[in-house]
Chains A and B, each alone.
Chain A
């Protein structure tokens, strides 16, 4: 059976060249980079090189502005909790958006339980925040604005530069989660003007379990873990050296291969165009301000998990914002905040392309999806004349 992987927003395959750079650190180069002897010093050189690679990839001014973490979630946590702890005497108000990754939303919720005020900005039908709402939300108590660079579900790119312009007038820090955008669109910390920025290796063909937080020099940030002097005492603990080396190489390759993205964008548009040919299908997310990899559609009258399982049987890996794939009973908070009905949000399909996807992959998906949709719709009591198209199902109306 043909295998097509279209879930790159969840994780990308590890580039074999990146793996090669990592392997020596699982074998001969085992020293602890904090050790003063030659074993440690040799390894430390590679950690420093990786830090430089990441700094260059995001155009940071200083290598030391890169703090290695265990991944994007930890980096988001460190940014938000670290700024909150460092600036608690200045203010206790944080602004975020309603469509953030849970690494941000849940961290903000944790702070809210400790007495911080959290404002979640709404988004429009395309998932874009309202800058006027942001302006109104800022107060003297505001210490941090944390808005993702691009959304992980619908691929919408947020106006981060404009957010920074607003924030600077009020002397407020800006953090952006660039986990999804890095490697797909230019991520330049100086062009964006952000104070803190999160990246993760496994979204750019690097290893899992390693990420980084960019912290602009002079930004006040308190460590949230204790026990060592590593990573400028901001993130203590013996370094994941192989992971760090892998992240460094992945960051270097990501920042130097943005031209490959043009072709991915063309395939994305083919996919979108093909899927929209089906009846009662709508594109989720912004039509143009979206990641080159992201396709997210809602397919009426079917449920997302059933679609994902059916696609899997055809060898196609995809994902959905359906509640039934998430372990919770609620559909995607992102789609719901964009104004989709409960019913429509349940029928979402996310296909995220990677560098390895071919036009044959797109042809295969466009051949299989309509057949699966037809089969599932034939089983659905919502399809046909029973329920008017676009209306809610009877059980949801009882809410």
Chain B
């Protein structure tokens, strides 16, 4: 059902945790299936230097949260905003169809965190 990469990120999630003095925090949830992702950002000179996450959800939800943290680090805010849920799923070698809309919230969570960062830095 899941690719090896999904299982790897589920088993060994990268960047789990919180950033106490985060520059931006974003949380999204899927109302129907109940998954919740919270992403914390540290930004320096418009570049994402650190990302951490906490997720309540299934294997796919945890894996997508983990992989987006790897994809976002080092990107400018503008580049990170262009990341899509589909790119996240592709990075993991694909997700089962039912997980595409229930568990793949990672890019949405990142965007929400970036919006929060922008709001804090107006």
Which chain B residues lie closer than 8 Å to A378 at the CB level? Answer: 16
Which chain B residues lie closer than 8 Å to A330 at the CB level? Answer: 32-33
Considering only residues 289-322 of chain A, those with a C-beta below 8 Å from chain B are 301-306, 309, 313, 322
Chain B interface mostly helix, strand, loop or mixed?
A: mixed
Q: Does residue B23 face the partner (Cβ distance < 8 Å to A)?
A: no
Q: Does residue B102 face the partner (Cβ distance < 8 Å to A)?
A: yes
A-B CB pair tally, cutoff 8 Å: 90
Alpha-carbon separation in the docked complex, A382 to B10 (Å): 18
**Interface size range of chain A in the complex:** 20 to 34
Which chain A residues lie closer than 8 Å to B37 at the CB level? Answer: 381
Q: Does residue A380 face the partner (Cβ distance < 8 Å to B)?
A: yes
Using a CB–CB distance below 8 Å, which chain A residues touch chain B? 301-306, 309, 313, 322-325, 327-331, 342-343, 346, 378-382, 393-396, 398-399
Contact A395 B28 (CB under 8 A): yes
Contact B34 A343 (CB under 8 A): yes
What are 8 A-B pairs at a CB distance below 8 A? Answer: A306-B57, A309-B58, A323-B34, A379-B16, A381-B36, A393-B56, A396-B29, A398-B31
Contact A327 B98 (CB under 8 A): yes
Which chain A residues lie closer than 8 Å to B59 at the CB level? Answer: 305-306, 309, 324
Q: Does residue B104 face the partner (Cβ distance < 8 Å to A)?
A: no
Contact B54 A322 (CB under 8 A): no
Considering only residues 4-31 of chain B, those with a C-beta below 8 Å from chain A are 7, 10-11, 13, 16, 27-31
CB < 8 Å: which of B13, B31, B54, B58 contacts A399? B31
Contact B58 A303 (CB under 8 A): yes
| Chain A nearest CB, measured from B108 CB (Å) | 12
**Interface size range of chain B in the complex:** 20 to 34
Which chain B residues lie closer than 8 Å to A329 at the CB level? Answer: 30, 32-33, 98, 102
How does the 8 Å CB contact mask read for B59-85 relative to A, with 1 for contact and 0 for none? 111100000000000000000000000
Which chain A residues lie closer than 8 Å to B7 at the CB level? Answer: 309
Alpha-carbon separation in the docked complex, A382 to B55 (Å): 8
Contact A382 B57 (CB under 8 A): no
Contact A395 B30 (CB under 8 A): yes
Contact A395 B36 (CB under 8 A): yes
Alpha-carbon separation in the docked complex, A303 to B13 (Å): 16
4 smallest beta-carbon distances between A and B, as pairs: A395-B29, A324-B58, A305-B58, A381-B54
Q: Does residue B112 face the partner (Cβ distance < 8 Å to A)?
A: no
Which chain A residues lie closer than 8 Å to B54 at the CB level? Answer: 379-381
